[in-house]
Amino acid sequence: MTYCVGIKLDAGIVFLSDSRTNAGVDQVRTFRKTHRFERPGERILVVQTAGNLALSQAVVSALRSTFQPESHGITLWNAKTMFDAATVAGEAVRSVYRHDSAAMQSFGLEFNLSLIVGGQIRGEPPRLFNVYNVGNFIESTAETPYFQLGEAKYGKPILDRVITANLSLQEAAKCALVSMDSTMKSNLSVGLPLDLVCYGADSFVIDQHKLIDDQDAYFSSIRRSWGQQLRKVFDELPNPQWWSTR
Amino acid sequence: MTYCVGIKLDAGIVFLSDSRTNAGVDQVRTFRKTHRFERPGERILVVQTAGNLALSQAVVSALRSTFQPESHGITLWNAKTMFDAATVAGEAVRSVYRHDSAAMQSFGLEFNLSLIVGGQIRGEPPRLFNVYNVGNFIESTAETPYFQLGEAKYGKPILDRVITANLSLQEAAKCALVSMDSTMKSNLSVGLPLDLVCYGADSFVIDQHKLIDDQDAYFSSIRRSWGQQLRKVFDELPNPQWWSTR
């Protein structure tokens, strides 16, 4: 399985993904799910993938190419807006669907592939999209500034409590890491290393792309402190006084 | 949807369930999912249900009856052990399956019904079981002292961080309420009022059965403090210092 989160802030966009893939509990492997498409100074795009790994690689491969017949020659490399880029990504998903879905169906396999597509193309502010397996998509707003892919539920409560569009990139990165920690703690199919990409609005260069493994001092300290402090807060909450102690 | 949790401690068992049922986003209603079967001094059983409401009511109705042909006359009222009681509950699930599954299939509906069955029958310590839609079941252990039904993922991280068998009933009730709060915050299909049942080991009487609505002072204060303190802990965690502030 997978856990990806993309957070659109006034200050830019934060992307975080794990790198574990598995078929059942065997064949556990490491594949990175965050893909960069960039022409510094002109366009910075990041695509996160979730779903069947062969489908994910097929769609990323299509997006890397400089010609996509199904998009009438529009690609991530020449799209004029992020909306066009999301359309291109959706068309790539549909192209993979046309190629693979019948064969998958004959094995009883579901076509599961979804994307987060975010970034900035000169002339526009940064934008963030969630592309569905159907190939259509939605865009984030100030009220709903983040999207998740994959094992989204474990890590959603902390995002709902903390994320607002006016956070700094660092605060949002911290929140994404806490959300990832909760997910990894409760679900074996999400695992290290992590890809953290931070893009600062109007910079047209990736501020930070950090690969976080179990040696990472900051992430280790966040995990430890968060667990300890959460436990401390929990212990300090009063017990119910509805009935006599037992 | 539904969220139920049952926690087996050395001190007894805590059960918490929400009461929201819905068909899509329409037909949102309140139905309680915690059912008591008790002969004070001799046996205390609690059954929590999740799944299709008609199926849940059918299984509870079967369990309330004093004769169950499919269990060779063994019922919750005369079972000698909690294992036998879980077997009776599983047989009741299978009986409902035989009665309803074909008709449901013809409407493309899944047979979704699962139970938590816990309590104590004189001669044994308290025990806790999770009965699947297939009718078979597992029992909790010291290492895995809790079961969840329904929308389990949002509220799992806090259980994983806090629950151990040596907690008091009050601490476990508090943890269950925090877990419920996280679930309600991120999922509309889980809602008030809540049923909280606490059973103290060897008491053979329900210590506490509390119906918690939005007027409940303790739950309101827990929700508020937990949210505020979580946010405070989050703010106090250091930001990543990997790159210059923006």
- Would you say residue A245 has pLDDT above 60? no
Chain A residues with beta carbon closer than 8 angstroms to that of B170: 239-240, 245-246
pLDDT reading at B246 higher than 50: no
Cβ-defined contact of A229 to B226 (cutoff 8 Å): no
CA neighbor of B55 nearest in space, from B5, B26, B21: B21
For residue B188, the model assigns a pLDDT of 84
Would you say residue A126 has pLDDT above 80? yes
* Residues in chain A within 8 Å Cβ distance of B237: 174, 178, 222, 225-226, 229
CA distance B212 to B220: 10
Interface of A with B in 175-194 (CB under 8 A): 175, 177-178, 182-183, 185-187
pLDDT digits (tens, 9 = 90+) for B160-187: 999 999 999 999 999 999 999 999 988 8
> End-to-end CA distance of chain A, in Å?
42
Q: Is B170 on the interface with A (CB under 8 A)?
A: yes
Q: Is the pTM of this model over 0.80?
A: yes
Q: Which residues of A touch B173 (CB under 8 A)?
A: 239-240
In terms of Cα–Cα distance, which of B5, B9, B15, B14 is closest to B179? B5
Place of tokens 């995002």: A159
Length of chain B: 246
Closest B-chain CA to A218: B240
pLDDT tens per residue, range A44-73: 999 999 999 999 999 999 999 877 777 788
pLDDT in tens, B70-87: 778 899 999 999 999 999
Distance from CA of A63 to the nearest CA of B (A): 29
Decide: B18 and B2 in contact? Cβ < 8 Å. Answer: yes
- Rounded to an integer, the average pLDDT of A63-89 is 90
pLDDT band with cut points at 50, 70 and 90 for residue B244: low
| Concatenated DSSP letters of chain A | --EEEEEEETTEEEEEE--EEEETTEEEEE---EEEEEETTTEEEEEEEEE-HHHHHHHHHHHHSS--GGGTT--TTT-SSHHHHHHHHHHHHHHHHHHHHHHHHHTT----EEEEEEEEETTS--EEEEE-TTS-EEE--SSS-EEEEES-STTHHHHHHH--TTS-HHHHHHHHHHHHHHHHHH-TTS-S-EEEEEEETT--SEEEEEEE-TT-HHHHHHHHHHHHHHHHHHHHSPPP-SS---
**In whole numbers, what is the pLDDT of chain A averaged over residues?**
92
Q: Does A199 touch chain B (CB under 8 A)?
A: no
Tell me the chain B residues in contact with residue A197 when contact means C-beta distances shorter than 8 Å.
none
CB B149 within 8 A of CB B116: yes
Alpha-carbon gap: B177 to the closest alpha carbon of chain A (Å): 10
For chain A, list the domains and their CATH numbers.
3-236 (3.60.20.10)
pLDDT of residue A243: 62
Contact status of A173 with chain B (Cβ, < 8 Å):
yes
- Shortest distance between the Cα of A174 and any Cα of chain B, in A, equals 6
* pLDDT value for A66: 79
Q: Where are the beta strands (DSSP E) in chain B?
A: 3-9, 12-17, 20-23, 26-30, 34-39, 43-51, 113-121, 127-131, 137-139, 146-150, 194-200, 206-212
From A91, A84, A85, A45, select the one nearest A68 (Cα to Cα).
A91
Q: Best of A177, A186, A197, A202 to disrupt the B interface by mutation (most B CBs within 10 Å)?
A: A186
Token output for A175: 């929140």
Chain A residues 127-156 with CB within 8 Å of chain B: 151, 153-154, 156
Q: What was the pLDDT predicted at B102?
A: 95
What span, in angstroms and rounded, lies between the C-alpha atoms of A52 and A62? 16
**B-interface mutation test, from A10, A202, A242, most B Cβ less than 10 A away:** A242
From its phi and psi, is residue A176 left (phi > 0), alpha (psi between -120 and 50) or beta? alpha
Asked if B226's CB is within 8 angstroms of A12's CB, the reply is no
pLDDT, averaged across chain B: 92
How far is it, in rounded angstroms, from Cα A131 to Cα A108?
Answer: 23
**How far is A72 from A88, CA to CA, in rounded Å?**
9
The least confident of A66-80, A160-174, B29-43, B197-211 is: A66-80
- Give B-chain residues touching A3 at CB under 8 angstroms: none
- pLDDT surpassing 50 at residue B31: yes
Look at residue B28 and tell me whether its pLDDT is greater than 90. no
Q: Give the range among A233-237, B28-32, B129-133 with minimum mean pLDDT.
A: B28-32
Chain A to chain B Cβ contacts (< 8 Å): 134
The model's confidence at residue A146, banded by pLDDT at 50, 70 and 90, is very high
Residue to mutate among A5, A148, A170, A197, with most B CBs inside 10 A, is: A170
Give the C-alpha separation, B139 to B10, whole Å.
15
